[in-house]
């Protein structure tokens, strides 16, 4: 029957696996722990002692010179820490001691100690400085030399930084003095070449005239805009209204804007600006002729009003055709014509004024452009003068700032001068700081347990021996039929015994009873009564399993025939107390029937065909024999026939018997003993046979509680107490009698076998 290749399902980690590792691989963990602990103890006694020498250095400034603006003193503690731990400073301290300690300590590298610096925050600006080595006196001398080098180095750094900064500032001040002198010479030369005093006077006058012209231009522009807006409204107005509107327009054009108030922080001019000329801004008053003309228009309006009143009175008594009425109407018409003529005259005068204003506005704008050109030249020269003067002012300001900074820096360096004081003198601790027994033992404990568990986990994951039902069904791909406990397998190489008939073997009886149930059910399902029991290699427990399973089935009332076909090393006759010959080898060689060599056993319903006489050519004998005919003669006489065979990988007898003979094959494998590659290879050799399933032998349920094996072997966990009890009280020796407990030599041999099995799984 070929081995079916089934895809391996993804398995999740379970904590019970690690519990199993702890119990099954405890020897490795214990050995690693003990070796690590021993190494730690030896290191504590052998390692050279390391002593720590320390001191406490306070860094402070003179409180009488301390000012609030100065830098906090402990901001520089990181600089002190770096300086004390620097390679250069430590080498200098070691070189200063090389004449005294060179021969004692050795090379300069050994004399250069590592320095540990810690800031003690509870004590302000205080540093705890320590060194470690095997010589306490050298530690003290090295620490004192290091403190001296540190003080000298720090003071040198401070002086160098101060001198460098002062030199830079002094050099920059000298350059600024030269630049200020050059800028002042440029200012004086510019004033001389461009006659700045006269230019400024002319510029002031030109600016005043230009301002007056701009004011007058704005007045004329305002009057022009008002006149253009009034023309439509003055078409039907009388001369008096037109004259008044013209006068009001001239007055409106003379209005000047309110001067803006300067801001509070604006600088007030030293002198008030001169007022523009009166001839430019003043407006002439109304002339006498205009006043008389205005008075005449008013008299005409009064006369017209009286004539119209008189006409209304005459209409009451006279007819319109009356000569007096006609004369009065003519007089009224003449008066009205005079008023209309006067209004038209005034309107034309306004038009003339409009044209005159336009001409004057153009003339003022032309004059303004000329004054602007003159004033622009003066403004340019004044701006250049201000720029040169601004350069001088900025240079002088920079000079003053740098000079003040130089002075402040020199004062600050004096105020920031740091002082060093040893608040705790150089001293060495009484107890050595290394080796520390507690730390070393903790590390040894962690390393021992960690390495032991790691090696155990590695061995567990790389162990290719069969261990669980999952290995049978998923890795090997054959059915699992049942299991046999570990204690049954004990002493297998010395005696094969019918354990299920012993009084103390209640646990074994239950185990074989469960195995019997599954095997009988599987054989009935395949309608077979012949089972060939085999294994990959020797010491797997196949003979013991075949014997006890045959006894258990015989106890059910079934007739069972047990055939020992291990023609090279048959041992079933010893277990049942029968003779070895005649047996199966004799029947095959002499062409006899199995009935001729069957022997009755002391177990009811159980018969045995022993192995028979020893032969050399068992494979050739089996190959030339009709195995179906051999078993057909006795097949109807028994309910079940169990055939014990040789290991598959030792000889080819089993392969011939399983592939060319009748029945099915029962495969027996020992837990934690048989590698899975060997089982897989042996099953591949049985690819033409019908493999009923696999029986797991030597399940070590007694080692731990049912927690782990309820996960690995769920159908057999409840047997653990019974197996443990039986194994703890009984073990069979060479003669088959009970003995109480293994000897010390047997325990060591057993431990050696376990170590070889763990380290050499293919042995």
Q: Is the pLDDT of residue 411 over 80?
A: no
What is the predicted pLDDT for the residue at 180? Answer: 87
- pLDDT (tens digit per residue) in 665-694: 888 888 878 787 888 888 888 888 888 888
Could you tell me which residue, 580 or 67, shows the higher pLDDT? 580
pLDDT above 90 for 212: no
Mean of all residue pLDDT scores within the chain: 76
> In the numeric block, which tokens belong to residue 357?
């204003």
Radius of gyration of the chain (CA): 65
pLDDT value at 8 more than 60: no
Lowest mean pLDDT among 31-45, 329-343, 493-507: 493-507
More confident residue, 124 or 66: 124
Residue 500 has pLDDT above 90, yes or no: no
Q: Which of 414, 347, 359, 367 is nearest to 166 (CA)?
A: 414
Region 657-672 average pLDDT: 85
User: What is 463-759's CATH superfamily?
Assistant: P-loop containing nucleotide triphosphate hydrolases (3.40.50.300)
pLDDT at 754: 66
pLDDT range class, residue 216, cuts 50, 70, 90: confident
Q: What is the pLDDT of residues 124-182, one digit of tens each?
A: 788 999 999 989 999 999 999 999 999 988 888 877 767 777 788 888 888 888 888 88
Task: Give the pair of three-digit tokens for residue 737.
Answer: 């009698």
pLDDT of the residue at 291 = 62
Task: Give the model's confidence band at 543: pLDDT under 50 very low, under 70 low, under 90 confident, else very high.
Answer: confident
pLDDT at site 723: 36
Condensed to tens digits (0 to 9), the pLDDT of residues 287-319 reads 665 666 666 667 777 887 888 888 888 888 878
Residue 601 half-sphere exposure toward CB, CA atoms < 13 A:
26
Q: Is the pLDDT of residue 621 over 50?
A: yes
pLDDT of residue 9: 45
**Stretch 59-85: mean pLDDT:** 67
pLDDT at 654 > cutoff 60? yes
Tokens of 50: 């390391």
Dihedrals φ, ψ of 692, to 5°?
A: -70, -40
Of 49-58, 242-251, 351-360, 381-390, the least confident: 242-251
| pLDDT computed for residue 276 by the predictor | 45
Question: What are 110's two structure tokens?
Answer: 């050994």
Mean of pLDDT values over 242-266:
66
Which stretch, 159-163, 214-218, 342-346, 394-398, has highest mean pLDDT? 394-398
Percent of the chain with pLDDT over 70: 75
Average pLDDT (422-434) is: 89
- For residue 636, give the nearest of 584, 595, 604, 695 by alpha carbon: 595
DSSP state of 154: H
Residue 505, pLDDT score: 55
Q: Hunting for tokens 């046999």 — which residue is that?
A: 484
- Mean pLDDT (whole number) for 372-396: 80
Q: In whole angstroms, how far apart are CA 566 and each of 538, 542, 554, 665?
A: 11, 11, 22, 15
Higher per-residue confidence, 122 vs 594: 594
pLDDT confidence tier of residue 504, bands split at 50, 70 and 90: low
Rounded to the nearest 10 degrees, how much is the dihedral formed by the CA atoms of 701, 704, 707, 710?
-10
Each residue of 694-738: pLDDT tens digit? Answer: 888 877 654 443 333 443 444 443 333 333 333 333 333 333 333
- Which pLDDT score is estimated for 342? 78
Percent of the chain at pLDDT above 90?
9
For the ranges 6-20, 294-308, 377-391, the lowest mean pLDDT is seen at 6-20
Where in the chain is CATH 3.40.50.300?
463-759
- Distances in Å between the Cα of 219 and the Cα atoms of 222, 283, 346, 483 are 5, 11, 22, 127
Preceding peptide of 505 cis, ω within 30°: no
Question: pLDDT tens across 175-200, in order?
Answer: 888 888 888 888 888 777 776 766 66
Choice between 263 and 425, residue whose per-residue pLDDT is larger: 425
Residue 513: its pLDDT value, please?
85
Q: What are the φ and ψ backbone dihedral angles of 695, each rounded to 5 degrees?
A: -110, 125
Handedness of CA 399, 400, 401, 406 (dihedral sign): positive
> Prior bond to 582 cis, omega within 30?
yes
pTM: 0.46
Mean of the pLDDT values across residues 338-351? 79
- Cα-based torsion angle of the residue sequence 407, 409, 412, 417 in order, rounded to the nearest 10 degrees: -120
Q: How many degrees, rounded to 5, is the angle at CA 673 between CA 667 and CA 675?
A: 75
| pLDDT for residue 413 | 62
Of residues 269 and 621, more confidently modeled: 621
Sheet holding 126-133, edge to edge: 115-120, 126-133, 51-61, 418-428
Relative to beta strand 115-120, strand 51-61 is: unpaired
With a cut of 90, say whether residue 389 has pLDDT above it: no
């301390």: which residue's tokens?
66
Q: Is 168 helix (H, G, I), strand (E, B) or coil?
A: helix
Res. 281 pLDDT band, cuts 50 70 90: very low
């Amino acid at each position: 029957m070929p081995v079916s290749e089934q895809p391996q399902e993804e398995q999740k980690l379970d904590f019970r696996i690690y519990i199993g590792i702890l119990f099954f691989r405890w020897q490795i963990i214990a050995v690693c722990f003990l070796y690590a602990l021993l190494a730690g103890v030896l290191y504590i006694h052998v390692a050279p002692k390391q002593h720590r020498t320390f001191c406490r250095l306070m860094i402070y400034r003179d409180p009488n010179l301390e000012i609030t603006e100065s830098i906090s003193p402990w901001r520089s503690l990181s600089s002190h820490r770096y300086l004390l731990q620097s390679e250069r400073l430590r080498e200098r301290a070691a070189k200063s001691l090389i004449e005294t300690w060179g021969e004692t300590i050795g090379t300069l590298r050994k004399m250069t100690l590592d320095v540990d610096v810690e800031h003690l925050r509870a004590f302000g600006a205080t540093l705890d400085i320590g060194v470690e080595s095997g010589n306490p006196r050298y530690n003290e001398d090295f620490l004192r030399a290091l403190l001296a080098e540190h003080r000298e180095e720090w003071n040198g750094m401070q002086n160098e930084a101060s001198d460098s900064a002062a030199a830079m500032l002094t050099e920059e001040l000298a350059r600024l003095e030269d630049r200020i002198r050059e800028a002042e010479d440029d200012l004086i030369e510019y004033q001389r070449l461009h006659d700045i005093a006269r230019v400024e006077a002319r510029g002031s006058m030109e600016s005043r005239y230009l301002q007056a012209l701009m004011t007058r231009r704005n007045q004329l522009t305002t009057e022009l805009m008002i006149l253009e807006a009034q023309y439509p409204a003055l078409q039907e107005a009388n001369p008096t209204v037109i004259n008044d509107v013209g006068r009001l327009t001239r007055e409106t054009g003379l209005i000047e804007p309110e001067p803006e108030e300067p801001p509070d922080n604006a600088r007030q001019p030293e002198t008030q600006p001169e007022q523009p000329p009166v001839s430019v801004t003043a407006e002439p008053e109304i002339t006498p002729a205009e006043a008389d003309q205005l008075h005449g228009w008013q008299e005409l309006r009064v006369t017209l009003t009286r004539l119209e009143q008189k006409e209304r009175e005459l209409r009451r008594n006279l007819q319109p055709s009356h000569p007096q009425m006609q004369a009065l109407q003519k007089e009224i018409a003449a008066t009205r014509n005079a008023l209309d003529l006067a209004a038209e005259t005034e309107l034309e005068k306004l038009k003339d004024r409009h044209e005159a204003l336009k001409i004057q506005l153009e003339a003022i704008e032309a004059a303004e452009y000329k004054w602007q050109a003159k004033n622009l030249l003066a403004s340019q020269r004044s701006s250049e003068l201000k720029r040169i003067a601004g350069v001088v002012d900025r240079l002088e300001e920079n000079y003053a700032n740098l000079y003040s900074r130089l002075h402040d820096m020199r004062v600050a360096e004096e105020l920031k001068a740091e002082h060093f004081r040893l608040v705790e003198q150089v001293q060495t601790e009484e107890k050595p700081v290394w080796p520390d027994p507690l730390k070393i033992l903790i590390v040894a404990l962690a390393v021992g347990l960690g390495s032991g568990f790691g090696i155990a986990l590695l061995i567990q994951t790389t162990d290719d021996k069969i261990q669980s039902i999952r290995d049978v069904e998923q890795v090997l791909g054959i059915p699992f039929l049942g299991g046999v406990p570990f204690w049954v397998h004990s002493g297998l190489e010395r005696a094969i015994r019918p354990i299920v008939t012993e009084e103390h073997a209640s646990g074994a009886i239950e185990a074989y009873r469960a195995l019997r149930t599954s095997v009988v059910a599987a054989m009935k399902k395949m309608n077979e009564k012949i089972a060939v029991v085999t294994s990959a290699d020797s010491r797997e427990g196949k003979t013991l399993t075949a014997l006890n399973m045959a006894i258990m089935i015989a106890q059910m009332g079934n007739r069972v025939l047990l055939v020992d076909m291990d023609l090279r090393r048959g041992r079933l006759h010893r277990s049942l107390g029968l003779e070895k010959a005649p047996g199966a080898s004799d029947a095959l060689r002499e062409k006899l029937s199995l009935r001729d060599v069957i022997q009755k056993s002391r177990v009811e319903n159980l018969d045995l065909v022993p192995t028979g006489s020893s032969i050399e050519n068992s494979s050739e004998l089996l190959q030339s024999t009709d195995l179906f005919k051999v078993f057909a003669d006795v097949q109807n006489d028994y309910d079940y026939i169990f055939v014990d065979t040789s290991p598959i990988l030792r000889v080819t007898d089993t392969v011939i018997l399983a592939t060319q003979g009748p029945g099915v094959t029962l495969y027996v494998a020992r837990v934690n003993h048989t590698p899975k590659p060997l089982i897989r290879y042996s099953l591949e050799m049985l690819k033409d046979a019908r493999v009923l399933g696999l029986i797991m032998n030597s399940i070590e349920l007694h080692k731990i509680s049912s927690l782990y094996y309820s996960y690995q072997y769920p159908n057999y966990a409840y047997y653990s107490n019974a197996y443990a009890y039986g194994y703890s009280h009984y073990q069979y020796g060479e003669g088959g009698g009970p003995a109480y407990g293994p000897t010390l030599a047997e325990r060591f041999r057993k431990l050696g076998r376990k170590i070889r099995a763990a380290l050499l799984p293919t042995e």
